Chains A and B, each alone.
Chain A
Amino acid sequence: MSTIASTMADYRHQLRNNRLGLWLFFISEAFLFGGLFVSRFYLWGNTRPELDQTLGLTITSILLLSSFFMNRAEMAIAHDDRRTFLNSLLITAALGILFLIGVVGFEWRGHIRPWDGAFGAVLFGMTGMHALHVLSGVIFILIVWNNGRKGHYSSERHWGVEACAIYWHYVDVIWVFFYPALYLMGTVVR
């Protein structure tokens, strides 16, 4: 085997390992979020606190929209379209930051505080753990953007982008479960 071909084979082998590893990490994290999810039903049962529905719907839409741009970024690098790739990444990060502002700046400033019984504990526990993951995702995106700007990715080699994108979608999907559990299910207690 020529060296280039063998390094490419090595890369593909490692890529498959990386993918499996990342998915195992997701399975692991699913148990963390699953534990929080179960706690919500264990403690809140069929009730929920009154929350700002407009805010909930807005941040959820923002996060879903961000996943679209993330997908666009990944498609772009797969076609070596660096401009679209970099722009889409920045938009994704910006939307992620907007989401965080929505959670931390507005939702957390509502009438419920962390120490207010099980409502406070679960609300802040779930949104807090999720927000931490969004934050790490935003940092990840910015790192990838920075490396992308220096031209480190190509259509053949962009595991960093791929990992970042799957991670982002994953965190997004978690919210798809958390949002109804917090905002929609059960009867409002006043």
Chain B
Amino acid sequence: MRILLSLGLVRGLIAQAAGTAFGMALTMAIRVLLGLPAWNAEPVMVAGALVGVISFLVGVGAFTDWFKWVKGEETPMRHGPPEGRPAWTRYLSVDYSHKVIGVQYVVTGIALMLVAGLLAWIFRTELTQPGLQFLDAPTFNTMISAHGIVMIAAILLGVSGMMNYLVPLMIGASDMAFPRLNALGYWVNVPGAILVVAAMFVGGWNTGWTGYPPLSVQSPLGTPLFLLGVYFVGLSSILGAINIIVTILRMRTPGMTLFRMPIFVWASLAASIIQLTGTQLIGLSFLMVVVERVLGMGFFNPNLSPEAIALGSPPGNVLLFQHLFWFYSHPAVYIFVLPGLGIISELLPVFARKPLFGYRWVALSSMAIALVGFLVWAHHMFTAGMDPGLRVPMMYSTLLVAVPTGVKFFSWVATVWQGKLSFPTPMLFVLGAISVFLLGGLSGPPNGTVTTDLFLHDTYWIVGHFHATMFGGFVFPFFAAIYYWFPKVTGRKYNETLGKLHFWLMTPAFWVQTLAQMDVGLKGMRRRIVDYDPALGIETGHLLITIAGFVIGLSILVMLYNLVRSARTGEVAEANPWRSRSPEWQIPSPVPEHSYARPFVVVGDPYDYGLPGSTYIQFAPSGASE
């Protein structure tokens, strides 16, 4: 009990509950003072949610050191597990080690993935037959909306987890540049995710993950909570990006020039640039919807009150939302996939025992994708009634993204070509990722071409497209990374048979799911609709999607079972099971508290596998430091 109450997480949750109640009461009191009726669900809940999130952060202890700075006190950096408490408690409290924070991110991400996956199981069961079975339309709408946004949050957390754990290790930094900010960046996700989940229980919302007005201005009470929850998850992206960029630019070990950085570090840099800048705009657009709901500020309202007409005010415009939203949310897909594609480039040379083909091109292609990605947002608006003059430029810029993406593909193929391949679980997932991402990538250009998109938009084809890109670009590589670095993180081996079982269940099922989604989409199935016309002849397709969805979910449960069991009782792993050249594999597993006892210098290129006499890093002779 005492240990339980000492956990930051528990304190944070209690504080969030208390803070929410306090914020609501305070707002009601202010409303009474202003002569308004005390209860109006919308403003009271929004204020409660905001105070609740801040209270969580205070309660968990994310601000403790900064409060001391405000008072002018010094706060020496503490390392290692907490004193007088079991070591595991550090994972449930504020901890400044990037390795702990990385694990926190990944575990939370997987937990959210399970929540969102469960929702998918439920609404997919509903969709196996036309007509309404056991869900009504509002519940269905809430579930698909929550599925989408919770998965996106899960992906963002997974991405941050990988970057947090791996980037400092790969560049030989002792930790991130701003450890306290790093901890805050992780913890702000937790109350944010709680808001999104809570939104499902206070009326839900029916806008899909995109939250387009005017619907989101009129939709049920869950909407503002969902919008605010996403806002805080976005805040985490921004804080994390600052940290990653400074760490990469300023804390590399001697000899690690930009073009000797691992590809994953390049990908993290590119993804962080998008997170740093773009995220503000989804935040702004969601905030605008919240203030339109709460204060009636008509950013998106096409109707004018008589007073506004008397002032000569122009009306609001819903398209403004879409522009702001997609200016982030298109580049956001590259936040999801760039690190994953980096993992692919990272692991292929290890398992092919060959240098990565075209290192410089691959490194720069991540940057190119990130930059061009900012010029394509309106390809989500071809049917929205925007200025037709934007259509063709956006179409060409969209198709242009295929060039740097193609560079990566060619590099992968050329890397595998004539390699001495071996196929342990991580390699299988890498190859699965490439195959699935190819499918997703090829289904993109038809969406980006105006003429075809007019027919494809808002159909299940799009659902197939982005599931394939997200799975190929994030989920498969993420699992590859989990299996690959599992021995590094835990010091133990995972079970290879179960790992392969996971792969062979998930990959065929995923192919079936995506192809069936695309197929029913082409036959006329709309997105985000609980019912469909049996005359479309898509019942078999829907049945296949549902069955495949269940198999994918089960396979992930197999993985979790494997990971949890192996972390406890797995065989002790050897130091460098993959014969990797990367520095983090040259030190003991699990990584010691201060990762590198001796600093290292970079003397060669990272991926020169199989080249005789090539070295990447050299450790300083012992005793040289300090």
Contacts and interface: CB of A to CB of B under 8 A. Distances in A.
Contacts of A150: 72
B307 interface: yes
A21 B298 contact: no
B1 interface: no
A167 to B, nearest CB: 14
Contacts of A32: 280-281, 283-284
A152 B295 contact: no
Pick from A24, A113, A152, A190 the residue with the most CB of B within 10 Å: A24
Contacts of A105: none
B498 interface: no
Interface string B266-296: 0000000000111111011100100110011
Contacts of B309: 117
A147 interface: yes
A152 B72 contact: yes
Contact of A43 (B277, B278, B296, B320): B320
A17 B246 contact: yes
Interface residues of A, number: 43
Interface in A43-60: 43-45, 47, 49
Contact of B314 (A21, A119, A147): A119
B298 A117 contact: yes
Interface in A156-182: 160
Nearest to B281: A35
A120 B298 contact: yes
Contacts of A38: 324
A116 B306 CA distance: 9
A8 interface: no
B250 A16 contact: yes
Classify chain B's interface size.
35 or more
B280 A31 contact: yes
A118 B311 contact: no
Contacts of A27: 276-277
B304 interface: yes
A189 to B, nearest CB: 3
Contacts of A147: 70, 72
**B contact face: mostly helix, strand, loop, or mixed:** helix
A162 B533 CA distance: 65
A112 interface: yes
Nearest to A44: B314
Interface string A128-160: 000000000000000100110010100000001
A43 B300 CA distance: 9
B529 interface: no
Contact of B246 (A20, A36, A160, A190): A20
Q: Which of B181, B305, B309: most chain A CB closer than 10 A?
A: B305
B249 interface: yes
Contact of A125 (B245, B251, B291): B291
Contacts of B298: 115, 117-118, 120-121
A134 to B, nearest CB: 18
A89 B477 CA distance: 52
A185 B279 CA distance: 28
Interface string B233-261: 00000100111011001110000000000
Contact of B320 (A16, A39, A116, A120): A39
A115 B296 contact: yes
B323 interface: yes
Given A20-B246, A25-B242, A146 B72 contact: yes
Contacts of B285: 35
A122 B315 CA distance: 11
A118 B299 contact: yes
A124 B249 CA distance: 38
A150 B72 CA distance: 8
A47 B278 CA distance: 28
Given A17-B250, A28-B242, A121-B299, A45 B314 contact: yes
Nearest to A128: B291
A111 interface: yes
Contact of A117 (B277, B315, B323): B315
Contacts of A121: 288, 291-292, 297-299, 316
Given A44-B314, A121-B292, A121-B298, A24 B308 contact: no
A17 B295 CA distance: 40
Given A17-B246, A114-B295, A115-B295, 12 more contacts: A20-B250, A21-B246, A24-B241, A28-B241, A28-B277, A31-B277, A43-B316, A115-B308, A116-B313, A117-B311, A189-B311, A189-B313
Interface of A: 16-17, 20-21, 24-25, 27-29, 31-32, 35-36, 38-39, 42-45, 47, 49, 111-122, 124-125, 143, 146-147, 150, 152, 160, 189-190
The 5 residue pairs across chains A and B that have the minimum distance between CB atoms = A117-B313, A117-B308, A189-B312, A115-B296, A119-B313
